[in-house]
Amino acid sequence: MPEADSRAPRRDIRQRDALRSPRFAQPATYARLPYEEDLTDVDAVFLGIPFDDATTFRSGARMGPAAVRENSRLLRPYNMFLDVSPFDVLNVVDHGDVDVVPGYIFDTFERVEAHLDRLCAARAVPFICGGDHSITLPVLRSLRRAHGPLHLIHFDSHLDFWDSYWGKKYTHGTWLRRVVEEGLVDSVAQAGIRGSQYAPDDLDFAHEHRIRVETIDAFFERGARAVMADILAGVPADAPLYISWDIDVVDPAFASGTGTPEVGGLSAWDAVQCVRSLVGHRLVGMDVVEVAPPYDGPGAPTSLLAANLLYEAISVLAKNSGAGVRAFAAGAEKGGSA
């Protein structure tokens, strides 16, 4: 990627001003950011991948990106807990959706990879809303090409490394096994696991491949911040880190709008703390998947939480930028990439 011409003025991309335009006005974009296909001077993007044909129980996550956009209208420009104004530090846009191919997993994967390749070439950090969890596989294929092997933190109720469902290798419950088999990651840590299993040997894959599994008990016994500190101690600060967040890791009392809910999960507060703990690490992207609006409660708390988790992650990227920890190259100056 050629260096940006320091003499050329850099675009200044901002949220729509809520003190001039009411939050309920205008078409919904993520955080009321501009919809933009041009990636010039863009540091990070919100990207929808509305695909849920790899689900194994109930579908609906294809409606996730639209619902998250609608429920992101209240996101304001200053994050007081991280002391950063992310949309002042970074140029962030709503980059629309990948045009998926309903009913065709492999065709959709090809389109996701191609789209992510373009983002990586432009050095725009992806903040992705699914869609079911299968979409993380093609995302990581692209990011692996851009960054080398990744460190992955996977928040979920479920292990997602079963070998197959009904003899099919590519579902939202098998994507992580394919990720490991394809050598896309240096390390995997799973957080919040609590769903029932099929058999005692379901955990064998984790043991064989040195996958760290932190069950929900760890969060209740030690607290979210302590668990995250333990996980992140094993990730070098300058190593490429990707976060994959299945919203069903959160208790259905806070996030009922998902396809495979499990009782006894994280609270919304815990979830936000987990994302904030990423400050200082080289975040190269994050997804929030399995948001299924047809099952959400009044007030759309699941979509609202998903919108906020992505906002916190963008805030982390902005905070890191100000501290000199860049997503693509440690020490790079702001002006060409994030």
pLDDT exceeds cutoff 50 at 15: yes
pLDDT digits (tens, 9 = 90+) for 221-233: 999 999 999 999 9
21: alpha, beta or left? (left if phi > 0; alpha if psi -120 to 50): beta
Angle between helices 268-276 and 301-323 (to 10 degrees): 20
Here the tokens at position 298 are 């009044």
pLDDT of 323 reads: 52
pTM above 0.85, yes or no: yes
According to CATH, the topology of domain 41-323 is Arginase; Chain A (3.40.800)
Range with the poorest average pLDDT among 14-18, 115-119, 290-294:
14-18
Can you give the C-alpha Rg of the chain in angstroms? 19
The answer to whether residues 228 and 273 touch, using CB atoms and an 8 Å cutoff, is: yes
φ, ψ of residue 25 in degrees (nearest 5): -95, 160
pLDDT digits (tens, 9 = 90+) for 220-272: 999 999 999 999 999 999 999 999 999 999 999 999 999 999 999 999 999 99
In which residue are the tokens 């932190």 written? 214
At 212, is the secondary structure helix, strand, or coil?
strand
